[in-house]
Amino acid sequence: MKVQCELCPKNCLIEPGQSGECRVRINIDGVLRTVVYGYPCSINIDPVEKKPLFHFLPGSPILSIATVGCNLHCENCQNWEISQANPEDGNISAYYCPPEKLVSLAKANKCPSLAYTYTDPVVYYEYTYDTAKLASEAGIRSVLVTAGYINEQPWKKLLEYVDAANIDLKGMTDDFYRQVCKATLKPVQQALILARAAGVHVEVTNLIIPTLNDGPEDIRRLARWVKVNLGGETPLHFSGFYPRYKMRNLPPTSLKTLETAREIALSEGLDYVYIGNLRSREGENTYCPGCKKLLIDRSGYTIIQNRLTNGRCPDCDKEIYGVWK
């Protein structure tokens, strides 16, 4: 009997013995099974700035995991070796690490939070959900790094146990999503709005790919959408593209393009706009939107100085959006 997976907007109709587009949700005897539950292919402690999250417990370590598989197939994927892998592929091994073990690893390594990242936590939904629930009971916070391509009902359920999310907004047209990611734009926008409405700390990442989404109008449209729908205080990260996977024909994004994008987003009224994947002094730091003074001085993923006092600017007392303790 066929099964239909209603987790993400692809709503895959899966024949017996076959998997959905994500490769990790399989129809076995008419029952939808997740094959990666408890089997991450990567477990590492990263700085939280690497996610990137710049307004969430700055300078703290975060236990980060991923399983193989992804429901998107971005031609520029930086992690395609794991995101587009099948669990049974011999070249990517997994660890056995059930939710209880993950939570105890986070505690043992003094990580205040756990990140579901690298591929997309949507495809290992049940593992993410159970771990986040357990982590929440143990006082460990949960962070999603995701493309946000998920149906409303499971997303709302998961958000109950999520503290922060960095959600990719990869472009502002359906054409871009269809051509580059084999997905659609609307569900991602909806996921962003729902996450913010659920009280989750949200930061947005936009990867700028030369010739595809690097025009000033693309940037302006994206910044406006973020401001109107998520609020001007939402941190926005512009990341530089590197030729990878199926998109090796385009050049890397220049620092100038990223700096121009940052200027446009700031001029559109966003308070915190950052540059990632390329070093940029101003684009790495947090400045007070009120008095413009430097608040958090960063060098790559390292915090050089954090001047925030109880989440406020020490000079003008403006409250700064984020989770600071």
By the criterion CB under 8 A, which residues form the site for other proteins?
1-7, 13-14, 25-26, 28, 30-39, 42-47, 50-51, 63-64, 66, 68, 78-79, 82, 86-90, 92-97, 105, 109, 117-118, 125-126, 145, 151, 153-154
Residue 76 or 213 with smaller CB distance to other proteins: 76
**Contact yes or no for 94/36 (Cβ under 8 A):** yes
CA distance 158 to 133: 9
Residue 113 bridge partners (DSSP):
62, 141
Residue 183 or 288 with smaller CB distance to other proteins: 183
Instruction: Name the minimum Å distance from CB 284 to other proteins.
Output: 17
Residue 145 or 278 with smaller CB distance to other proteins: 145
- DSSP class per residue in 233-276: TS-EEEEE---BTTB-SSPPPPHHHHHHHHHHHHHTT-S-EEEE
Residue 153 or 310 with smaller CB distance to other proteins: 153
- DSSP class per residue in 115-132: EE-SS-TTTTHHHHHHHH
| Backbone torsions φ then ψ of 21, nearest 5 degrees | -60, -25
CA distance 121 to 134: 16
Residue 75 or 315 with smaller CB distance to other proteins: 75
Instruction: Name the minimum Å distance from CB 16 to other proteins.
Output: 11
Identity at 90, one-letter amino acid code? G
Structure tokens belonging to residue 176:
């871009």
Instruction: Name the minimum Å distance from CB 291 to other proteins.
Output: 33
Instruction: Name the minimum Å distance from CB 319 to other proteins.
Output: 29
Instruction: Name the minimum Å distance from CB 54 to other proteins.
Output: 14
